Amino acid sequence: MSHSLVERAPAKINLSLHVLGRRDDGYHELESLVAFTRSGDLLSWTPGESLRFVLDGPTAADSGTLEDNLAVKAVRNLAERVEGLKLGTLHLTKNLPVAAGIGGGSSDAAAALRLAARANALSADDPRLLEAARTTGADVPVCLDAQARMMAGIGEKLGPILSLPPLPVLIVNPRQKLETKSVFARMKIAPGTRTSFGSHPVISSNLDFETLIAALRKSRNDMEDAACVLAPIVSDVLAVLAAAPGCRLARMSGSGATCFGIFADCRAVARAKKTILDAHRDWWVKAAMLN
């Protein structure tokens, strides 16, 4: 009997997101501190003769066509680089909201690469894994390790893994999709120009909770204003989170529409979750711990 391998694909949260400018080729240059939840989507791999894909879960219906799925693309990109790559059935249980600014598809792709590597006895630092990740999508490389770090450029520049204090968070998505390209278009940054929004504060390992919060307050998500224009409900989510007792920082993640609140402790998160769900039963609300 074939045994399945299992990997989690956690949500990626942009604790900060500075837009530094736009390159001549149209790509936007970013600088961002990212951290990851401890749960999210779930992928399994069962050895087989060919690559097959099974998709289910609460948010599977919003995930588009199977051929467009980043997890499938990632494995195919790896197969182009590893001769004789053993294939199998990739089963994705989709729990995270789609087009939500929390890197769900990219994290799925990274988890698929980790599964393919395990199934083929490839080391985690095999350069072909990173090459396949970069080819699949800009956010896939940072999701391979799924640990807190700074990322820059269009996602290809990864800083060292950072040891952050435990961050109790409440993640809220109003179930409204926001396409990244639409938010960038609204920002109207011309190719070949630099922004002047301000530099990113230095973030180092082993900061205590209060020091990290103080540093994060000096950072921003430069995509927030544009996202709020395109989806005014984002402003509502931010206001609700900021008003919750114990919330130390409320911010949008990525290009939205998901927002998060960092709280003083897990009890404050639980109270806020109950209050928000009572008032907004149609919102996706998740308590998590970032690492």
Q: Alpha-carbon distance 270 to 263, whole Å?
A: 10
* CA nearest to 86, candidates 15, 5, 179, 194: 5
- Single-letter residue type at 125: D
3-state SS, one letter per residue, for 239-254: HHHHHCCCEEEEEECC
Q: Alpha-carbon distance 256 to 144, whole Å?
A: 22
Contact present, 287 and 170 (Cβ < 8 Å): yes
DSSP-assigned beta bridge partners for residue 45: 5, 90
21: left (phi over 0), alpha (psi -120 to 50) or beta: left
| Residues marked as catalytic | 12, 139
Report the DSSP pairing between strands 52-56 and 88-93.
Answer: parallel
User: Going along 134-237, which residue ranges are E strands?
Assistant: 149-153, 157-158, 167-173, 193-194
Q: Is 199 exposed, middle or buried (CB count within 10 Å of its CB: 0-12, 13-18, 19+)?
A: exposed
Helix, strand, coil abundance in the chain, percent, nearest 5: 35, 30, 40
